[in-house]
Amino acid sequence: MDISTPSTTPKYSSSPVMMNSNPNSAAPTTVSAISSTPSRYENQKRRDWNTFCQYLRNHKPPLSFPRCNGTHVLEFLCYLDQFGKTKVHHQTCQFFGHPKPPALCPCPLRQAWGSLDALIGRLRAAYEAHGGKPEENPFGARAVRIYLREVRDFQAKSRGVSYTKKRKRTSKQAEGNNGTTTS
């Protein structure tokens, strides 16, 4: 084949071509490819993963991910507290236990328990998505679970909010509450 002569092979577009259902029209209809954009959750998970990896790189001394454990995850969570927006009253504060304090106090702003819990959930999923074994996942370490429970309980007491776990109702309890019985 001579390089100077143009190729006779047809050029195809990247989008698929479908025949138009209108028999009077001779032009084929093109259908644009459906772009699969990541969900909000997937974007957030990727950002959280990148933030944690950046934290490990900036750690003194820098840490490689295989050497990371639950202690490093706890350090990361404590590091994030400086960016929190939830007022957490000290036990000595006059507003300790008040959900809506009437005045300002010098108590620190922290990450809310719900935000930390969701973050750990996304990081656990990201770890496994990057090839980590579930049984070696540092985000699922016992120390991390205990820390989250303590944060939840302390923030609940501090802010006067109760986090009581709701029990699932059995079918018999649900029937009794509805006033209907099945025979």
Confidence check: pLDDT of 16 > 50: no
Could you report the per-residue pLDDT of 76-130, keeping only the tens digit for each?
A: 999 998 898 888 887 888 888 877 778 888 888 889 999 999 999 999 999 999 9
pLDDT of residue 114: 92
Could you report the per-residue pLDDT of 52-90, keeping only the tens digit for each?
A: 999 999 988 888 888 889 999 999 999 998 898 888 887
Is the CB of residue 116 less than 8 Å from the CB of residue 148?
yes
Rounded to whole angstroms, the Cα distance separating 157 from 113 reads 12
Cβ neighbours of residue 41 closer than 8 Å, sequence gap 6 or more: 122
Within 68-113, strands assigned E span 86-87, 109-110
Backbone φ, ψ for residue 34 (5° rounding): -75, 115
Confidence check: pLDDT of 162 > 70: no
Is the CB of residue 126 less than 8 Å from the CB of residue 45?
yes
For residue 139, which of 56, 82, 20, 25 has the smallest C-alpha distance? 56
Is the CB of residue 69 less than 8 Å from the CB of residue 48?
no
Q: What is the mean pLDDT of residues 150-174?
A: 71
pLDDT of residue 7: 42
Selected residue with higher pLDDT from 24 and 128: 128
Measured CA angle at 87 (ends 60, 164), to 5 deg: 105
Rounded to whole angstroms, the Cα distance separating 53 from 64 reads 9
State the pLDDT confidence band at 47, using cuts at 50, 70 and 90.
very high
Measured CA angle at 166 (ends 164, 172), to 5 deg: 150
Helix axes 70-80, 40-58, angle to 10 degrees: 100
